[in-house]
Every structure is written in C-alpha cells, then in structure tokens.
Structure 1
C-alpha cells in the first residue's frame, strides 16, 4: 500500500511539474511575440536588396547569428540570461521576416494574406497543442521521422537557392507546413509527458515551430492567392 501511495504521489508531482512548465512556456511564448512584431516592423523599414542580390550570403549570415543565439540560450537555459537571449532571438527572427513581408505587401491583397497566414497559424497551433495536452498521448515516436524530414527539407531548400524553381519552392512550403505541424504535436507532447522540463528550451522549440509554420503558410498563400495585378 505504501508503494502504491508513493507511485501515485510521484505521478501527481510529475503532472504538477509538467503543468507548470507548460504554463511558463505559453507565457514566455506569448511574450516572445512582442519583440517578433517589433522586429518585423524594423525589417519592413530596411533596404533588403542585398537579400535578392546575394541570397546565399544572406542565408549563411542569418544562420551564423541564429546558431550563435541558440548556443547562448542552451548554455544559459537555467538563468534569466537565457530568457533575455531568447527574446533577442525572437527580435532577430522578426527582422528576418522583413523580406517576405515586403514581398507580400507589394501584392494588392498582401495585408489580407498576412492576416490569413497568422490566423491559420494560430488555429493550427491551438488545435494541435490542444490535442497533445488533452489526450496526453506520447508523440515521441514522431521524433526520428520529423528529424529526417527536416534535414531533407533543409538540403532541398539549399539546392533550390541555386535552381530557383517556383513549383519546387511551393512544394517545399507544403512539406514544411506538415513537418512543423508535426513538430508542434511532438514538442507540446514532450512537455506534457515530462520529456522537456526547461521552459526556456520548450519555448524556443515551439516558437521555431510556429514561426516556420507562419512563414511557409504565407508563402503558399502568396503563390496561390496573391493578386499581382
């Protein structure tokens, strides 16, 4: 009887800890949207012709900054500095939205498409996060498949920097939407089931899922519904 009580008690503690991590993650995720929006406005005001002229240099430079911030967040995940670096990353990611937002706003219905992409991202996130939270199903089995998928997506995206095939870009965006939707299920499930106990790292993972989901949804909407007249 004592053993059963201890098991039940440990289970209650695990659930309470998971709920706390999830609450802190959602709070920090909401906060991270503020510097993202500020960064997006900064990106819109910048002259980004360099991006079109030197796309490979742009990608290399942004990846260097991103991975530097990733390392800093990982190293300081248990301190307030980790939160500061995470917010700095979200500001930078907002600035990096500048090129695609500028392209979108050059369309007659660009503002509507941005709003539609944001709304679609929100609906997908809330639905999948709700499924992972309420069912408490362990989606860790998706991990290897998602990692293989993301590596192949990165390789294909780099290849398309040289070939610039519009139909291939659209196909890659479709695959990315599916992959990052899967990552939302996977990452929220890890928190719910105790696989991720640090809310800073949990927020980083889910933020990148949401960010990439939005970008790729917007690319699809611009290609399919963009009014260029």
Structure 2
C-alpha cells in the first residue's frame, strides 16, 4: 500500500511540474512578444539599416546563434529571461525589411494583422493538439531537423537567385515545418522531456516567429495590393 501511495504522489508531483513549466513557458512567450513588437516598431519608424544579401544573412546568423548560446548558458537563472527578451528585441529589429516592404502595399497593415492572426490560430491549434493528443510526435524530430536544413540551404541559394517562385515554396514549406515543430516542442513539455521554461520558450518563439514571417511573405506575394 505504501509504495502505491508514494507512486501516486510521484505522478501527481510530476504532472504539477510539467504544468508549471508549460504555464511559465506560455507566460514568457507572451512577454517575449512585447520586445519583439517594440523592436519592429523602432526598426520601421527609425528606418534602422539591416544588412542584406549573403553577408547580411551570415551576420544575422552569427548574432542569433550568439544569443541562443548565451540563453543556453544562463537558462538556470533570471539572467536567462533578460537575455531571451534581448534576443526577441533583436528579432523584432530583424523584421524591419519585411515589414517595410509589406507596408508599401495599400493593404499592408491588413496583411500584417492577417499574418499575426493566422499565426496565433496555427499556434492555438497545434498547441492544443500537442496537449491533448495521445499520439507521440517525438519521431518528427529527425524529419523536422532535415527540413530546416533544406530550408536554410534554399534560403541561402535564393539570396543569389532571387526567384519569386522559390521564395513562395520556401514560405509554404516553412509554415508546414514550424507548425509541426510546435507540436513537437509543446508535447516535449507536456511529456516532461523539457523542464526548463526558458529553453522551451525559445524553441516555441522561433517556431512562431518563422510561421509569422513566412505567412506574411506569402500574403504579400498573393494578396498584396498596390492600389
């Protein structure tokens, strides 16, 4: 009887821990949108110069991975939250070229709001499925990683090729891949595979960020109006 009671306590405690990590992740994810929006507003209104082309992409990746490494190093302390929020501000600044281009359309603000709403819907649906589904999505890991590598290679190639059709394909694939990543990342928290809410927030933030940018690019190509 005693071992059974102890096992019951262990299961209850594990569930409480997973719930706490998931709750903190969602709160921090919501908070991370504030510096992202602030960075985007500053970038657009102050016309912050952002490097373009191959060199710009390389510099962006170096800074982004530098932030990610710093977040990983500080994830067990409050400093990790500060570094994460600084990273999301930087990512907001990096939206400057895309937002500036989109706002040149007559319906630019509507496109941005549509992309935001669409991203929120995708997140809500995928997070709900990951939370309630009994299906194990851990097997997606290797496929999704391979998909991201393909996307990166295609994006680098298109920097030099500049093909609209290829960019459309990249955007569609990115939406699909990072939507699946939400399934994977949220379920890892639910199943106890991820116990640090800062790391969890970083993963899901990148999923949401990539879905938003890809969806906005897709909307610009297909629904942007010059009139």
- Structure 1-normalised TM-score? 0.95
Distance 1:158 1:21 in 2: 36
Q: Establish whether residue 124 from structure 1 lines up as the match of residue 122 from structure 2.
A: yes
Distance 1:9 1:137 in 2: 25
Distance 2:20 2:78 in 1: 17
Number of residue pairs aligned between Structure 1 and Structure 2: 227
Identify if the C-alpha distance between structure 1 residues 136 and 73 changes in structure 2 by more than 3 Å, giving closer, same or farther.
farther
How far did 1:55 drift?
1.3
Q: What are the ranges of 5 or more consecutive residues in structure 2 without an aligned counterpart?
A: none
Contact 1:72 1:85 in 2 (8 A): yes
Structure 1 window deviating more from structure 2 (57-66 vs 179-188): it is 57-66
Structure 1 SS opposite 2:34 = helix
Matches within 5 A, 1:66-215: 66-135=64-133, 137-215=135-213
Q: Establish whether residue 36 from structure 1 lines up as the match of residue 36 from structure 2.
A: yes
Structure 2 SS opposite 1:140 = coil
| Residue in 2 that maps onto 1:26 | 26
How far did 1:7 drift?
2.9
Distance 1:5 1:159 in 2: 59
Distance 1:137 1:126 in 2: 18
How far did 1:46 drift?
4.0
How far did 1:3 drift?
3.5
Distance 1:65 1:98 in 2: 16
Q: Cα deviations across residues 80-112 of structure 1 (Å, max 9, x unaligned)? A: 111000000000000000100000000011110
Structure 1 segments (4+ residues) deviating >4 Å:
none
How far did 1:11 drift?
1.7
Structure 1 window deviating more from structure 2 (105-114 vs 130-139): it is 130-139
Structure 1 SS opposite 2:76 = coil
Distance 1:49 1:168 in 2: 26
Distance 2:54 2:47 in 1: 17
How far did 1:149 drift?
0.6
Contact 2:50 2:97 in 1 (8 A): no
Distance 1:222 1:32 in 2: 25
- Structure 2-normalised TM-score? 0.96
Q: What are the ranges of 5 or more consecutive residues in structure 1 without an aligned counterpart?
A: none
Structure 2 SS opposite 1:227 = coil
Distance 1:109 1:71 in 2: 38
How far did 1:50 drift?
5.9
Distance 1:187 1:5 in 2: 32
Distance 1:50 1:97 in 2: 9
Q: Establish whether residue 16 from structure 1 lines up as the match of residue 16 from structure 2.
A: yes
How far did 1:5 drift?
3.1
Identify if the C-alpha distance between structure 1 residues 7 and 50 changes in structure 2 by more than 3 Å, giving closer, same or farther.
closer
